[in-house]
Structure 1
Protein backbone atom coordinates (compact mmCIF):
# COMPACT_ATOMS: atom_id res chain seq x y z
CA UNK A 1 0.00 0.00 0.00
CA UNK A 2 1.42 3.46 -0.84
CA UNK A 3 2.41 5.56 2.19
CA UNK A 4 0.00 8.35 1.29
CA UNK A 5 -2.98 5.97 1.19
CA UNK A 6 -1.93 4.42 4.51
CA UNK A 7 -1.63 7.89 6.04
CA UNK A 8 -5.06 9.02 4.77
CA UNK A 9 -6.73 5.86 6.01
CA UNK A 10 -4.97 6.07 9.37
CA UNK A 11 -6.07 9.68 9.81
CA UNK A 12 -9.63 8.63 8.92
CA UNK A 13 -9.58 5.95 11.64
CA UNK A 14 -8.09 8.30 14.23
CA UNK A 15 -10.52 11.11 13.36
CA UNK A 16 -13.69 9.00 13.27
CA UNK A 17 -12.58 6.62 16.07
CA UNK A 18 -13.77 3.57 14.17
CA UNK A 19 -11.99 0.27 14.65
CA UNK A 20 -9.14 -0.52 12.29
CA UNK A 21 -11.16 -3.46 11.04
CA UNK A 22 -13.96 -1.01 10.20
CA UNK A 23 -12.17 0.16 7.06
CA UNK A 24 -14.37 -1.53 4.48
CA UNK A 25 -12.61 -2.63 1.32
CA UNK A 26 -15.92 -2.24 -0.52
CA UNK A 27 -15.55 1.53 0.03
CA UNK A 28 -12.07 1.58 -1.46
CA UNK A 29 -10.14 1.18 1.79
CA UNK A 30 -7.22 -1.20 2.14
CA UNK A 31 -6.60 -3.47 5.09
CA UNK A 32 -7.04 -1.73 8.43
CA UNK A 33 -4.34 -3.88 9.99
CA UNK A 34 -1.88 -2.86 7.28
CA UNK A 35 -2.59 0.79 8.09
CA UNK A 36 -2.21 0.11 11.81
CA UNK A 37 1.14 -1.63 11.29
CA UNK A 38 2.37 1.23 9.08
CA UNK A 39 1.29 3.82 11.65
CA UNK A 40 3.03 1.84 14.43
CA UNK A 41 6.22 1.61 12.33
CA UNK A 42 6.18 5.36 11.73
CA UNK A 43 5.74 5.97 15.47
CA UNK A 44 8.60 3.62 16.30
CA UNK A 45 10.85 5.33 13.73
CA UNK A 46 10.17 8.78 15.24
CA UNK A 47 8.46 10.12 12.12
CA UNK A 48 5.82 12.07 14.04
CA UNK A 49 8.38 13.73 16.31
CA UNK A 50 10.33 14.90 13.25
CA UNK A 51 7.17 16.16 11.50
CA UNK A 52 6.12 18.01 14.67
CA UNK A 53 9.57 19.63 14.94
CA UNK A 54 9.51 20.69 11.28
CA UNK A 55 6.08 22.29 11.74
CA UNK A 56 7.20 24.13 14.88
CA UNK A 57 10.34 25.37 13.12
CA UNK A 58 8.22 26.70 10.26
CA UNK A 59 5.83 28.45 12.67
CA UNK A 60 8.80 29.92 14.58
CA UNK A 61 10.36 31.25 11.36
CA UNK A 62 7.06 32.97 10.52
CA UNK A 63 6.70 34.29 14.08
CA UNK A 64 3.31 32.54 14.37
CA UNK A 65 3.68 30.92 17.78
CA UNK A 66 1.78 32.60 20.62
CA UNK A 67 4.58 32.93 23.19
CA UNK A 68 2.67 35.54 25.22
CA UNK A 69 0.83 32.70 26.95
CA UNK A 70 1.47 29.00 27.28
CA UNK A 71 -0.26 26.25 29.23
CA UNK A 72 1.14 23.01 30.58
CA UNK A 73 -1.35 20.35 31.63
CA UNK A 74 -1.45 16.67 32.41
CA UNK A 75 -3.98 14.11 31.26
CA UNK A 76 -4.23 10.65 32.81
CA UNK A 77 -4.54 7.87 30.25
CA UNK A 78 -6.54 4.75 31.01
CA UNK A 79 -4.66 1.47 31.07
CA UNK A 80 -4.98 -0.31 27.77
CA UNK A 81 -4.90 2.91 25.73
CA UNK A 82 -1.13 2.95 25.67
CA UNK A 83 1.39 0.26 26.36
CA UNK A 84 5.11 0.20 26.89
CA UNK A 85 7.67 0.94 29.51
CA UNK A 86 6.16 4.39 30.21
CA UNK A 87 3.11 2.77 31.84
CA UNK A 88 3.14 2.67 35.58
CA UNK A 89 0.85 2.55 38.60
CA UNK A 90 -1.54 5.44 39.21
CA UNK A 91 -1.76 6.38 42.88
CA UNK A 92 -5.46 7.22 42.60
CA UNK A 93 -6.18 3.74 41.23
CA UNK A 94 -4.41 1.88 44.04
CA UNK A 95 -1.39 0.92 41.92
CA UNK A 96 -3.29 -0.17 38.82
CA UNK A 97 -1.25 0.51 35.68
CA UNK A 98 -1.74 3.79 33.88
CA UNK A 99 0.06 6.65 32.19
CA UNK A 100 -0.01 10.42 32.00
CA UNK A 101 0.39 12.69 29.01
CA UNK A 102 2.05 16.03 29.76
CA UNK A 103 1.18 18.64 27.13
CA UNK A 104 2.43 22.18 26.52
CA UNK A 105 0.48 24.46 24.18
CA UNK A 106 0.97 28.07 23.14
CA UNK A 107 -1.62 30.86 23.36
CA UNK A 108 -3.28 29.59 20.17
CA UNK A 109 -3.48 25.97 21.45
CA UNK A 110 -0.70 24.82 19.13
CA UNK A 111 0.95 21.77 20.74
CA UNK A 112 4.57 22.64 21.56
CA UNK A 113 5.59 19.51 23.47
CA UNK A 114 4.14 16.19 24.59
CA UNK A 115 5.66 13.65 26.95
CA UNK A 116 4.43 10.38 28.40
CA UNK A 117 5.20 9.09 31.89
CA UNK A 118 3.94 6.50 34.31
CA UNK A 119 0.73 7.45 36.04
CA UNK A 120 2.40 7.57 39.44
CA UNK A 121 4.75 10.46 38.52
CA UNK A 122 4.04 13.76 40.22
CA UNK A 123 3.11 16.48 37.72
CA UNK A 124 5.55 18.99 39.22
CA UNK A 125 8.50 16.67 38.59
CA UNK A 126 7.61 16.60 34.89
CA UNK A 127 7.57 20.37 34.37
CA UNK A 128 11.12 20.78 33.06
CA UNK A 129 11.01 18.38 30.08
CA UNK A 130 8.03 19.97 28.27
CA UNK A 131 9.51 23.43 28.82
CA UNK A 132 12.84 22.30 27.39
CA UNK A 133 11.07 20.81 24.36
CA UNK A 134 8.88 23.90 23.92
CA UNK A 135 11.70 26.41 23.96
CA UNK A 136 14.13 24.23 22.02
CA UNK A 137 16.66 23.96 24.83
CA UNK A 138 17.99 21.10 26.88
CA UNK A 139 18.90 21.05 30.54
CA UNK A 140 21.55 18.43 29.72
CA UNK A 141 23.26 20.57 27.09
CA UNK A 142 26.57 22.10 28.04
CA UNK A 143 26.63 25.87 28.27
Structure 2
Protein backbone atom coordinates (compact mmCIF):
# COMPACT_ATOMS: atom_id res chain seq x y z
CA UNK A 1 0.00 0.00 0.00
CA UNK A 2 1.29 3.44 -0.91
CA UNK A 3 1.52 6.15 1.74
CA UNK A 4 -1.30 8.68 1.44
CA UNK A 5 -0.53 12.31 0.75
CA UNK A 6 -2.21 15.49 1.84
CA UNK A 7 -1.94 18.68 -0.16
CA UNK A 8 1.26 20.53 0.67
CA UNK A 9 0.73 23.92 2.37
CA UNK A 10 2.17 25.95 -0.51
CA UNK A 11 -0.07 24.03 -2.93
CA UNK A 12 -3.21 24.50 -0.85
CA UNK A 13 -5.35 25.45 -3.84
CA UNK A 14 -4.29 22.57 -6.07
CA UNK A 15 -6.02 19.22 -6.24
CA UNK A 16 -4.01 16.26 -4.93
CA UNK A 17 -2.12 14.43 -7.67
CA UNK A 18 -3.49 11.20 -9.08
CA UNK A 19 -1.41 8.50 -7.35
CA UNK A 20 -1.48 6.21 -10.39
CA UNK A 21 -0.17 8.99 -12.64
CA UNK A 22 2.62 9.80 -10.21
CA UNK A 23 3.52 6.11 -9.85
CA UNK A 24 3.60 5.73 -13.65
CA UNK A 25 5.86 8.78 -13.96
CA UNK A 26 8.22 7.39 -11.30
CA UNK A 27 8.42 3.99 -12.99
CA UNK A 28 9.07 5.69 -16.32
CA UNK A 29 11.88 7.82 -14.88
CA UNK A 30 13.50 4.85 -13.15
CA UNK A 31 13.28 2.48 -16.11
CA UNK A 32 14.18 4.97 -18.84
CA UNK A 33 17.27 6.32 -17.12
CA UNK A 34 16.21 9.87 -17.91
CA UNK A 35 16.85 12.69 -15.47
CA UNK A 36 13.83 13.72 -13.41
CA UNK A 37 13.90 17.16 -15.03
CA UNK A 38 13.26 15.51 -18.43
CA UNK A 39 10.06 13.81 -17.32
CA UNK A 40 7.49 14.41 -20.09
CA UNK A 41 4.55 16.62 -19.06
CA UNK A 42 2.13 14.02 -20.44
CA UNK A 43 2.28 12.22 -17.08
CA UNK A 44 0.40 15.12 -15.50
CA UNK A 45 2.82 15.56 -12.62
CA UNK A 46 5.88 17.71 -12.14
CA UNK A 47 9.36 16.22 -12.00
CA UNK A 48 9.69 17.56 -8.44
CA UNK A 49 6.53 15.75 -7.32
CA UNK A 50 7.58 12.50 -8.97
CA UNK A 51 11.05 12.67 -7.42
CA UNK A 52 9.67 13.55 -3.98
CA UNK A 53 7.21 10.64 -4.06
CA UNK A 54 9.93 8.26 -5.26
CA UNK A 55 12.05 9.29 -2.28
CA UNK A 56 9.17 8.82 0.16
CA UNK A 57 8.20 5.45 -1.32
CA UNK A 58 11.82 4.28 -1.23
CA UNK A 59 12.15 5.28 2.43
CA UNK A 60 8.87 3.43 3.15
CA UNK A 61 10.32 0.26 1.57
CA UNK A 62 7.99 0.19 -1.43
CA UNK A 63 10.74 -0.24 -4.03
CA UNK A 64 12.25 -3.16 -2.12
CA UNK A 65 8.83 -4.84 -1.85
CA UNK A 66 8.18 -4.35 -5.58
CA UNK A 67 11.61 -5.71 -6.49
CA UNK A 68 10.68 -8.87 -4.62
CA UNK A 69 6.99 -9.12 -5.51
CA UNK A 70 7.21 -8.67 -9.28
CA UNK A 71 9.64 -11.56 -9.96
CA UNK A 72 7.71 -13.76 -7.53
CA UNK A 73 4.45 -13.01 -9.35
CA UNK A 74 6.00 -13.67 -12.76
CA UNK A 75 7.47 -16.94 -11.49
CA UNK A 76 4.08 -18.00 -10.08
CA UNK A 77 2.45 -17.32 -13.47
CA UNK A 78 5.20 -19.18 -15.31
CA UNK A 79 6.16 -15.96 -17.08
CA UNK A 80 9.63 -15.44 -15.62
CA UNK A 81 12.26 -15.45 -18.35
CA UNK A 82 15.73 -15.75 -16.87
CA UNK A 83 17.52 -16.25 -20.21
CA UNK A 84 19.00 -12.77 -19.83
CA UNK A 85 19.52 -11.03 -16.54
CA UNK A 86 21.22 -7.70 -15.92
CA UNK A 87 23.13 -6.90 -12.75
CA UNK A 88 24.60 -3.44 -12.52
CA UNK A 89 27.17 -2.18 -10.07
CA UNK A 90 24.52 -0.51 -7.93
CA UNK A 91 22.88 -3.90 -7.31
CA UNK A 92 25.94 -5.90 -6.30
CA UNK A 93 27.83 -5.82 -3.03
CA UNK A 94 31.22 -4.17 -3.21
CA UNK A 95 34.09 -6.45 -2.25
CA UNK A 96 36.69 -5.26 0.22
CA UNK A 97 40.27 -6.31 0.60
CA UNK A 98 42.11 -8.61 -1.80
CA UNK A 99 40.26 -10.12 -4.70
2:28: which partner in 1?
12
After superposition, what is the alpha-carbon deviation per residue over 1:57-100, rounded to whole angstroms, capped at 9, x for unaligned?
22332344467x7878562xxxxxxxxxxxxxxxxxxxxxxxx5
2: CA distance, partners of 1:22 / 1:56: 29
> Higher relative contact order by CA 8 Å / sep ≥ 6: 1 or 2?
2
Q: Shift of the alpha carbon at 1:42?
A: 0.8
Name the structure with the higher strand share.
1
Aligned residue for 2:56? 41
Gap runs ≥5 in structure 2: 1-16
Give the TM-score normalised by structure 2: 0.54
Q: Secondary structure at the match of 2:44?
A: coil
Of Structure 1 and Structure 2, which has the larger fraction of its residues in helix?
2
Alignment of 1:117-132 (within 5 A): 117=93, 119=94, 121-122=95-96
Secondary structure in 1 aligned to 2:91? strand
Task: Give the CA RMSD over aligned residues.
Answer: 3.6
Note closer, same or farther for the CA distance 1:101–1:32 as it changes in structure 2 (3 Å cut). Answer: same
Question: 2:79 matched to 1:59?
Answer: no
Q: Which 5+ residue runs of structure 1 have no aligned equivalent? A: 76-99, 103-116, 126-143
CA distance in 2, matches of 1:36, 1:10: 7
